[in-house]
Structure 1
Amino acid sequence: MPVIYKLAILSTCFLTALITGLFYSYSCSVNTGLNRLGDTEYLRAMQSINRAILNPVFFASFIGTLILLPVCTWTIYKNEAASMSFYFLLTAALIYGIGVFGVTVFGNVPLNEILDKFDIGSSTTQEMKSQRLAFESPWNKLHFVRTIACLFSLLLTLASVVIRL
């Protein structure tokens, strides 16, 4: 394989690992801390986190993986169409595209946008409780799905490299 492919697949592994690590660490640390907060503090924290995550470093790894997985898959297809490496990468790209990107864009982001419009300052205690109930469980379920999908994408991407060694 050309050097450019080797750089692309290593970059893909690296970026996928970064996103997987972000989702994993969020699940086992941030969510644990957020669960201990009262409704008002929880909603404020999630609004702040949802705004802060929209930054170039996050987008480089989140979108970079979405771009590089299909590029690497196509490159392998052109050179080794029937190889296990191709099938691993194709599966990784599909899982990432649907299970990570799709779930985020069509699941988590709409919930984040609803939460962002929620005015904590003028809401009653009951309204905040209702907002948290409407947001927290669906968001966490979607986050679990994308975390597992990201992990599988990473494992498949790594497997596509390992079997070629």
Structure 2
Amino acid sequence: MGTITLIAAAASGLMAGLFFAFSVAVMPGLADLPASAAREAMRRINVRIQNPLFLLVFLGNAVLCGIEVFQGRIAGGLLYVVGCVLLTMFVNVPMNNRLDQTDDAYWPQYLRTWTIWNHVRAVACLASMVTLLLGF
């Protein structure tokens, strides 16, 4: 197993852990707050997560997983690229943008739907890590 594979697997694991933490702690914690407070907290989280370290792991691993695909570890690479990056870009980010542009009435729907898709991202990243380590 090569260095790129190990780094990609570790980064996939980091992302799985981040998404897991959101699913089991952050979102349930926000669910306990009034909609206005929860919405504002989530909006702040969405701003703060866009930092160099997060982006390095999130996007850097997309590059590494792309390399993994071309080196024959197709399942592991695609699980990350599709289940994490593309899902984030085409589902979670648009929902975050809508959260910025709507009122508190959107919060319950956002909380439910965003969290479901976040579960999918967590599972995809964990599956990516495992399949990369197994050589798939």
TM-score by length of 1: 0.76
Corresponding residue pairs, total: 136
Asked whether the equivalents of residues 27 and 111 of structure 2 are also in contact (C-alpha less than 8 Å), the reply is: no
Higher relative contact order (CA 8 A, sep 6+): 2
Q: Which has the larger radius of gyration?
A: 1
Residue of structure 1 in register with 2:115 after alignment: 140
Q: CA offset at residue 49 of structure 1? A: 0.6
Q: Is 1:158 matched with 2:119?
A: no
Residue of structure 1 in register with 2:35 after alignment: 39
- Percent of aligned pairs sharing the same letter: 30
Specify every segment of 5 or more residues in structure 2 that has no aligned partner in the other structure, as ranges: none
Q: 2-side partners of 1:109 and 1:68: how far apart?
A: 22
Stretch deviating more after TM superposition (107-116 or 22-31): 22-31
Residue of structure 2 in register with 1:93 after alignment: 77
Asked whether the equivalents of residues 13 and 129 of structure 2 are also in contact (C-alpha less than 8 Å), the reply is: yes
Q: CA offset at residue 52 of structure 1? A: 0.7
TM-score by length of 2: 0.91
Give deviations 1:125-151, integer Å, cap 9, x for gaps: xx52x2212311111111111111111
Q: CA offset at residue 72 of structure 1? A: 2.8
Residue of structure 1 in register with 2:90 after alignment: 106
Q: 1-side partners of 2:3 and 2:31: how far apart?
A: 40
Q: CA RMSD in A?
A: 1.7
Specify every segment of 5 or more residues in structure 1 that has no aligned partner in the other structure, as ranges: 76-85, 119-126
1:20 aligned residue (16, 29, 35)? 16
Secondary structure of 2:135's partner? helix
Q: 1-side partners of 2:12 and 2:65: how far apart?
A: 9
Asked whether the equivalents of residues 69 and 76 of structure 2 are also in contact (C-alpha less than 8 Å), the reply is: no
Q: 2-side partners of 1:146 and 1:54: how far apart?
A: 17
Q: CA offset at residue 7 of structure 1? A: 2.2
Asked whether the equivalents of residues 65 and 81 of structure 2 are also in contact (C-alpha less than 8 Å), the reply is: no
